Chains A and B, each alone.
Chain A
């Protein structure tokens, strides 16, 4: 799994976008949020620290709280209690009544439905993400994700895989502190998944920062993640390297059943 990264690392990490100007840092999370899970009302409770450069997978069944956690980090949903700190910046603190809006957190969020703007072309979707217009960087991003020939197309004309690549490029265009990917591959067929898993690794290495990815595919987690968090009914039941968390023979995770 890690070999994958190293081979891509050399070619991509340094070059295409040059210095992305991304802040390195860790993300410290300790929050609770009431939510509805498969078994009715429950509390999402997460206390963890994510180190710089980690590609972390959130793994769990539907309703375990994976998407909710991403939304809490992005500032799209407000936690009931707790703290979220990125480096020295407090994103959320219930005691001090701090709650930075999504605009000030600078996270790259990739939605399950990709959320591409239907009124804009591929090129304009991506440039919309840029804080300052930079044509050169825009072209490099499109080249990197193989979008040059599609740049004048509207999202309605794109396939699922193409949409995913546009969404990734758009999220990267903002040079986010943290990349949050909500089941980015769930809508794609197997071949496409394989191909786009590489794109995700590419995106992660390009940013050289924290990436959180929601998945419920064991193979995917094994291939992509440096760390995996197992969520069950809102509670973290295991955290570690995929090899330690998942049983190598069964492709099922240890201690995890419905």
Chain B
């Protein structure tokens, strides 16, 4: 296998790992707020988080590109203060990927939290434990299957992402050229053999991850 092929796969993995890590850290508190807090903008926030499930990736990609452009506030801010341009860079693709995978991380976690009986939280509070302690020692350990599902789904979705990445990142080897884009590129160039190699690896990885998710969900029984 040539170096390009390996680099492309490594970049795909790197993007998926970073996206999953950032979303995990970001997703836990957001899922907590959505599961337990009431605020009047909540339906809007929930709708926005779910948007990537129904929106064409090109739409999100288009708006991300606009935001990254130095002609607009966010892009200009980055260019002036950090001398950074996000369009067609790994960081730009990473941010877009985080936004586009939001529902895959947050929804399973939110469902996991709401399915934990309220009395467990309340029992912990009456035993003098703070909300943070309760979250770490009572809630998280009782939603492990949901957390694994969230991580696996986010990772798998991220590996398979195409539209947003091609809009925001294009096809720059070593920077934004991930496996899904390489497949498209190789097919255009009629290199079916290489396309097949990429495709087969993505197929197997996704199958393994989803099998893991379903076997975990099957094992999980409702908490007593």
Residues in A neighbouring B216, C-beta threshold 8 A:
none
B141 and A107 form a contact (CB under 8 A): no
B126 and A113 form a contact (CB under 8 A): no
B142 and A117 form a contact (CB under 8 A): yes
Which stretch of B5-13, B115-123, B166-174 is in the interface? B115-123
| Cβ contact of A119, chosen from B122, B126, B129, B142, cutoff 8 A | B142
**Residue A155 CB within 8 A of the other chain:** yes
Residues in B neighbouring A112, C-beta threshold 8 A:
119
Q: What's the tally of chain B residues with a CB closer than 8 Å to chain A?
A: 18
A76 and B126 form a contact (CB under 8 A): yes
Residues in A neighbouring B123, C-beta threshold 8 A:
109, 111, 115, 117, 170
**Residue A63 CB within 8 A of the other chain:** no
Q: Which of A105, A109, A115, A116 has the most chain B CB atoms inside 10 A of its CB?
A: A115
Alpha-carbon separation in the docked complex, A156 to B220 (Å): 13
Give A141 Cβ to nearest chain B Cβ, in Å: 14
**Residue A234 CB within 8 A of the other chain:** no
A155 and B224 form a contact (CB under 8 A): yes
* Closest A residue, CB atoms, query B221: A156
A115 and B122 form a contact (CB under 8 A): yes
A128 and B122 form a contact (CB under 8 A): no
A174 and B127 form a contact (CB under 8 A): yes
A174 and B128 form a contact (CB under 8 A): yes
A131 and B128 form a contact (CB under 8 A): yes
Residues in B neighbouring A161, C-beta threshold 8 A:
none
Number of residue pairs spanning A and B whose beta carbons lie under 8 angstroms apart: 63
Alpha-carbon separation in the docked complex, A112 to B117 (Å): 12
In this complex, the interface size class of chain A, counting residues with CB under 8 Å from chain B, is 20 to 34
Segment 148-206 of A: residues with Cβ below 8 Å from B = 155-156, 170, 173-174
| Cβ contact of B126, chosen from A107, A116, A155, A156, cutoff 8 A | A107
**Residue B203 CB within 8 A of the other chain:** no
B142 and A113 form a contact (CB under 8 A): no
Contact with B along A91-134 (1 / 0, CB 8 A): 00000000001110111110111011111100000001101000
**Residue B125 CB within 8 A of the other chain:** yes
Residues in A neighbouring B117, C-beta threshold 8 A:
113, 115
Give A204 Cβ to nearest chain B Cβ, in Å: 17
Beyond known contacts A108-B126, A111-B122, A116-B224: 6 more, CB 8 A cutoff: A76-B122, A103-B125, A113-B119, A115-B117, A117-B123, A174-B128
Residues of A within 8 A of B (CB): 74-76, 101-103, 105-109, 111-113, 115-120, 128-129, 131, 155-156, 170, 173-174
Question: Can you list 14 residue pairs at the A/B interface with Cβ under 8 Å?
Answer: A74-B122, A76-B122, A105-B126, A109-B126, A111-B119, A111-B122, A116-B224, A117-B142, A128-B127, A129-B127, A156-B223, A156-B224, A173-B127, A174-B128
